[in-house]
Every structure is written in structure tokens, then in C-alpha cells.
Homo-oligomer: A and B are copies of this chain.
Amino acid sequence: MTLLTNAEDIAAILKTISPPTRLAILLAIGEGEACVCHLEAVLGKRQAYISQHLMALRQSNVLLDRRDGRFVYYRIAEPALLDLVRGAGRLAGVDTAAPVVPAVCECPHCSEQKPGYRKCAATSDNATQNQ
């Protein structure tokens, strides 16, 4: 209705996606989809921490999730949201191209060609657990 009311609605969206970790998640997912272990590997953050942000983004209808066996895949609900983030990226002067990180994680989605199940690289012992 009023200008400030509108501003509050807009603020709600921006606030939801603003935390760096969430922006990184959105950029990592891009127009595709990603499981939690994949994001874990790409971002170098702990699983529980990433999951928290995913939950917040899901509850705000920014992300949609799809379960496949043990894995849960997330994708961006509205393409315009990605445009928004990339637009902000241009303003910030950063490269917002989808990160080229093929098969960091060994979930079936990342390495479909491999037969059988192999545990996700992100949680294997040799993976560096920073933060």
C-alpha cells in the first residue's frame, strides 16, 4: 500500500538472500540443482551450517527441494531471483558466472557415470574441514 509497506516486502526478500553464504549457495546452484554435500564441498563449510541456510531459503520459497534416496537436491524456485543476484554481482563488479566445479562431490548426481554407490567426497576423511 504505502511506500514503506512496499519497501518492507522488498526488504524481506533481500534480507533472506543477503547473507554471503546464501548468495554463494544461489550462485553455486545456478540454473541447475545441487545436493547438500555438493554445496558443502564447493563452499568449504560444515554440513549443518549449510543446511540451516538451505532451510531458511526453502521456508522463504527461494529454493525448492527434491529428495532422491538419501540425497536432497535443491534448485532455485524463481529464475528471476538468480537474475537479481547476478545483477547485484555486476554492480559489485564480480564475476557471477556459474562456478566451474565439476563433480566435486561424488553423489550420483555429480558422477552418474560411475556405477554403484560411493560416499560423498565432501565428508570423506581427506576432505579439508575448515570453519
Contact = CB atoms under 8 A, between A and B. Distances in A.
A4 B43 CA distance: 7
A85 B11 CA distance: 9
Interface residues of A, number: 42
Number of this chain's copies in the complex: 2
Interface string A12-47: 111101111111100110000000000000111000
A93 B5 CA distance: 12
Interface of A: 3-4, 6-15, 17-24, 27-28, 42-44, 78, 80-81, 83-85, 87-96, 99
A76 B9 CA distance: 21
Nearest to A95: B6
